[in-house]
Amino acid sequence: MLLGIIQGKMPLFFDKNQVLFTLKLKAKKQGFLSEAFSYAKSGLSPEVYLSDLTSLKLEKAVISNPINDFETYSPKPNPFITETIIPFSLDASTYGILQVFDMSGKLIFKERKLMSSGNDYWIISAVSFSHSGLYFYEIVTDSGHKSAGKIWLLQK
């Protein structure tokens, strides 16, 4: 059993391999995780204590947990000039929402449609975009499935 003390508060007890918290980060620009997340350089060093009060250093680890939890395929074509399609495969039909964001995180395009079971696709037209560049898309179904990726508009 491990003991953690958070900024002078009451001790917290937790078991080995117990998830203590989940941190979700949303990128506002391109870069490396190491540029966005680090331990504070001042104050207490990141550490935990065993029940016999021996200390261990904390380390950050990124555990792979892909956002795509239903079958999606690479947009075709990508990069694109007039339109691109995002193919997907679902076990059951459901409604879903496609959202497209620019590099700053601004919502550029949003559409809701019935996503058919089996193989289907979503069409994205360049008409919806004001300029060329890299965009991020996210598909969320009413049944809670998610998928995300990038599309690149070549000319505008």
* 3-state percent helix, strand, coil for the chain, nearest multiple of 5: 5, 45, 55
pLDDT at residue 74 in the model: 87
pTM score, whole prediction? 0.56
131-155: average pLDDT: 90
> Are 75 and 83 a contacting pair, CB within 8 Å?
no
Query: Average pLDDT of 128-153?
Result: 90
DSSP classification of residue 46 = S
What distance in Å separates the CA atoms of residue 62 and residue 28, rounded to the nearest whole number? 19
For 92, the token pair is 């059951």
Query: Stretch 91-120: mean pLDDT, rounded?
Result: 91
Residue % of the chain over a pLDDT of 90: 34
Taken in order of first residue, the domains within the chain and their CATH numbers are 1-65 (no CATH), 71-153 (2.60.40.10)
Residue 34: predicted pLDDT: 63
pLDDT tens digits, residue range 49-93?
Answer: 766 777 777 666 554 445 566 778 889 999 999 999 999 888 889
d(CA 37, CA 32): 9
Taking all residues of the chain, what is their mean pLDDT, rounded to a whole number?
77
Instruction: Dump pLDDT digits (tens) for 4-57.
Output: 444 444 455 566 666 666 666 677 777 666 666 665 666 666 676 766 777 777
pLDDT tens by residue, 121-137: 999 999 989 889 999 99
Asked if 90 and 115 touch (Cβ cutoff 8 Å), the reply is yes
**5 Cβ contact list (under 8 Å, min separation 6):** 11, 12, 49
